[in-house]
Amino acid sequence: MANARNFRDAGGYRTADGHWVRMGLVYRSNNLHSLVQSDLDALAAVRLTRVVDLRNVMERTEDPDKVPAGATYQVADLLDVTKGLPSGGDLGLALLLALPSLLDSSKDAQQQLGYRLMVNAPSARAAYRDMLTGVAATLKQNGPASVFHCTAGKDRTGWGAAVLLTLLGVDRATVTADFLASNTYYGADSVRQNWLDAAFDEVNRKYGSFDAYVRTGLGLSDDTVATLKAGLLTD
């Protein structure tokens, strides 16, 4: 959409075992503050009934979302201090692992640190659990769609989409391509592959496997995982 240029379908991808991720059920986006009525009408037409906002309180206050009438607005703030912030060994190691990038680019160092913290920070893990649980709740309604977003729809949203697609069985190369598409939709050099790689590296370092991250790190229930797969995968 012209007023949310990184708004796109999270589906349409082939999984490693030959399924497809359904389209028209989950979208990813940048913020929805600039939408006009025609945009809201378009979202209502695709039965968008849940908006999950990954932004912090300042972002939400300065640029509040515009959502279709009747849609559920859900906050899943990655920086919600009440859910816990990174500390101790996780924070120290994330800082240490980011330091070599300072030699090449401060932007790389900052983003690689941020992506690692999106994996291990308690507030971030709670936010992604809430996001995925909310999407699953909407899928149980047999038809309505959800969207999750942050400000630019590329970092917090990018990792959220990577988690969802990987959980559904989409291969890493395809997940990376979806992540890097923000460079087309939002602007050149909006994201870099090594940032996403840093997040996956942190998953393996902290949890040993992606499945352990989903089950232990995010704390997703078997029912939520089953609902996401049943609702979003098709032959």
Mode of pairing for the β-strands spanning 26-29 and 48-53: unpaired
| E strand spans, 127-201 | 145-149
pLDDT attached to residue 102 = 45
What distance in Å separates the CA atoms of residue 54 and residue 124, rounded to the nearest whole number? 9
Residue pLDDT, tens place only, 152-209: 999 999 999 999 999 999 999 999 999 999 999 999 999 999 999 999 999 999 999 9
Helix, strand or coil, per DSSP, at residue 29: strand
Q: For position 82, what pLDDT does the model report? A: 85
For the chain, what are the domain ranges? 8-217
Q: Which fold has domain 8-217?
A: Protein-Tyrosine Phosphatase; Chain A (3.90.190)
What are the C-alpha distances in Å from 12 to residues 55, 143, 171? 26, 16, 13
- The residue type found at 167 is L
Residue 83 has a pLDDT of 80
Q: Which residues of the chain have pLDDT under 50?
A: 95-96, 98, 101-103
